[in-house]
Amino acid sequence: MQKVAGNLEDYEEKRKKVSKFNLTSDVFFSKVMEDKEACQEVIQIFTSELLLVKTVKSQYSIRNIENHSVVLDVLAEDQNGCMMNVEIHCQEDEDHVRRGRYYISSIDMSILDKGIPYEAIPDVYMIYITDQDFIGKKRGINVVDRVVRGEEVLLDNGIHEFYVNLKGGSVTPEQRELLDFIKNSKSGHKTKVFPNLARRVTMFKEEREGIEIMCEIMARERAEGKMEGKIEGGLIKIIALVRKKHQKGNTPEQIADALELDAEYVSNIMNMIDELHESDEEIAMKLLGENA
């Protein structure tokens, strides 16, 4: 009996932790959106288009050896080959438009095989969700078109941008309900508008299997965060040592030999110290970003 009681207490503790999640969390959002039907509901409501999802990938990594790599919250493909990227960025205060631009270009480069003509590039839909009204129009759904300035001429380059503001007004009751649900995400929500999305949220918040999945993800992220902290802390120490020896006039080869590091790597750090005039912490973050 004590073992059963212990299991129940453990389950209730985990359930309480997971119940605090809502869809503004990119981790929770990505897991919920792995379901094709749930993902399709979100895309159709925000775009007002009948896009039928064929496949879904969450936390999809696009590795770029020469440039900055990206991890997309959700990348889906419809039955006609259109690519659909759904991003949730409610905590960040940044240049969302340029970030979206880079995400779209990364998707293009990842799917454009050598020799394929430009007209074969599939359409890309980007739904970019934020909590802040960075556009300033107080609309829940901001649709961006590419037009000729001063003319009512639309240039269709296959990119469809939808910037979603959770605090803004909505065109339809369905959009309003979805905007509110993303912010609150209560389990047991009854709706005919997005039943599969609501079902997924309830599953992860109430059912043992879903709760265990979310707890495993949280535990893994905490472990990875600690490891990144150790790596970053160690890198800051290395940069500080390189800076000190550099100031004393040591060559990259001498510093590399003393610290048992690669000479080219040391030379790169020295160049950043000379050119950027930033702190050890700032240089460490840039180095980590380059290797992400």
Distance CA 245, CA 258 (A): 10
Model confidence pLDDT, tens digit, residues 163-187? 999 888 888 899 999 999 998 999 8
pLDDT at 68: 65
Of 113, 110, 49, 45, give the one whose Cα is nearest residue 79. 49
Considering only CA atoms, give the Rg of the chain: 23
- Please state the rounded mean pLDDT for residues 187-215: 90
Of 34, 5, 24, give the one whose Cα is nearest residue 197. 34
pLDDT at 114: 64
- Please state the rounded mean pLDDT for residues 36-56: 94
Does position 64 have pLDDT exceeding 90, yes or no?
no
Give the angle subtended at the CA of 125 by the CAs of 185 and 28, to the nearest 5°.
25
In sign, the C-alpha dihedral spanning 245, 250, 252, 255 is negative
Does position 238 have pLDDT exceeding 60, yes or no?
yes
Does position 221 have pLDDT exceeding 80, yes or no?
no
Q: Please, what is the end-to-end C-alpha distance for the chain in angstroms?
A: 49
Confidence of residue 289 (pLDDT cuts 50, 70, 90): low
Distance CA 31, CA 144 (A): 28
pLDDT at 67: 58
Of 286, 260, 258, 289, give the one whose Cα is nearest residue 271. 286
Of 124, 44, 110, 118, give the one whose Cα is nearest residue 77. 124
Does position 192 have pLDDT exceeding 90, yes or no?
yes
Model confidence pLDDT, tens digit, residues 84-111? 999 998 866 678 888 888 888 888 888 7
Report the chain's mean pLDDT, rounded to a whole number: 82
Does position 248 have pLDDT exceeding 80, yes or no?
no
DSSP 169: B
- Please state the rounded mean pLDDT for residues 192-201: 95
Amino acid identity at 59: Q
Contact 239, 280 (CB under 8 A): yes
Does position 8 have pLDDT exceeding 80, yes or no?
no
Distance CA 206, CA 16 (A): 9
